[in-house]
Amino acid sequence: MTRQPDRYRSFSALGEHETEGVDYRIRIEDRSSNVAVIAPHGGVIEPATSQIALAIAGASLSLYCFEGLDAVRLHHELHVTSDNFDEPAAGSLLTKSSVVVAIHGRADRDDPETSWVGGLELSLRNRIAEALCRNGFAAVVRAKGEALAGTSAGNICNRGKRRAGVQIEIPRGVRDALMADAEKLKRYAGAVRQAIDEFDYALSSGEDL
């Protein structure tokens, strides 16, 4: 089925017609960490992405979730593409964070098991893909020119202080499986978090990335 185009080209436009607390909500935890974990299409927009972001962030990484609240709304009604996502609280958090890891959901299509890991922070991108594979999850890196690669400079994942971040596109089937199995979610989030922590240590230590 062909996805309908987004109703709103920006959060600025969305905010003129939708009501916070009724149509959407914003969760934000500024923990002054180098790495922020975000779910810009959370809630019912791309189901389970908020929960996965929360599990990865834990109690120590900064967190941002924009969540659709009305289960009858269609994906395109509250989805603002990553290049155009201009919600002010998100922008403020990103400018304080060195690196952003964005959690997204994608359709299963002909690759229902594989998380696509993209973005401009290649070291962290590679670490996350490798960590997922080591922990029993299929994952591949997405390079510039491939679908959902997250390599646009304007992509929300690339708006941290380093101007390079990571996005993880998780197929619907995998997201559903993670929500149905708490141990599997813990393992998935733990793999991503381990990669983030190793990268963060290297970044803080001045090591070559």
Each residue of 5-31: pLDDT tens digit?
999 999 999 999 999 999 999 999 999
Quote the pLDDT of residue 200. Answer: 97
The residue-averaged pLDDT of 27-42 equals 98
Quote the pLDDT of residue 1. Answer: 52
Residue labelled with tokens 């834990």: 58
Domains of the chain with CATH codes: 11-204 (3.40.630.100)
The model's confidence at residue 98, banded by pLDDT at 50, 70 and 90, is very high
Quote the pLDDT of residue 176. Answer: 98
Q: Where are the beta strands (DSSP E) in the chain?
A: 24-29, 35-43, 62-68, 99-106, 114-118, 138-141, 166-171
Strand-pair partners of 38 = 64, 102
Q: Find the helix or strand (DSSP H, E) in which 87 lies.
A: none
Can you tell me the distance from the alpha carbon of 96 to that of 168, in angstroms, rounded to the nearest whole number? Answer: 21
Whether the per-residue pLDDT at 85 is higher than 70: the answer is yes
Residue type, position 61, single letter: L
Can you tell me the distance from the alpha carbon of 106 to that of 66, in angstroms, rounded to the nearest whole number? Answer: 17
Can you tell me the distance from the alpha carbon of 157 to that of 142, in angstroms, rounded to the nearest whole number? Answer: 14
Whether the per-residue pLDDT at 2 is higher than 80: the answer is no
What would the pLDDT profile of 152-208 be if each residue is shown by its tens digit?
999 999 999 999 999 999 999 999 999 999 999 999 999 999 999 999 999 999 888
Residue type, position 82, single letter: S
Can you tell me the distance from the alpha carbon of 72 to that of 182, in angstroms, rounded to the nearest whole number? Answer: 26
DSSP 120: S
For residues 4 and 152, the model is more confident at 152
Quote the pLDDT of residue 155. Answer: 98
The residue-averaged pLDDT of 26-38 equals 99
Q: What DSSP assignment string belongs to 134-154?
A: HTT-EEEE--TTSTT----TT
Asked if residues 130 and 198 have their Cβ atoms less than 8 Å apart, the reply is: no
Tokens of 23: 């149509």
Strand-pair partners of 36 = 62, 100
Tokens of 17: 């017609």
Can you tell me the distance from the alpha carbon of 87 to that of 206, in angstroms, rounded to the nearest whole number? Answer: 32
What would the pLDDT profile of 115-151 be if each residue is shown by its tens digit?
999 999 999 999 999 999 999 999 999 999 999 999 9
What is the chain's alpha carbon radius of gyration, rounded to the nearest angstrom?
16
Quote the pLDDT of residue 96. Answer: 97
Counting DSSP H helices and E strands in the chain, the numbers are 7, 7
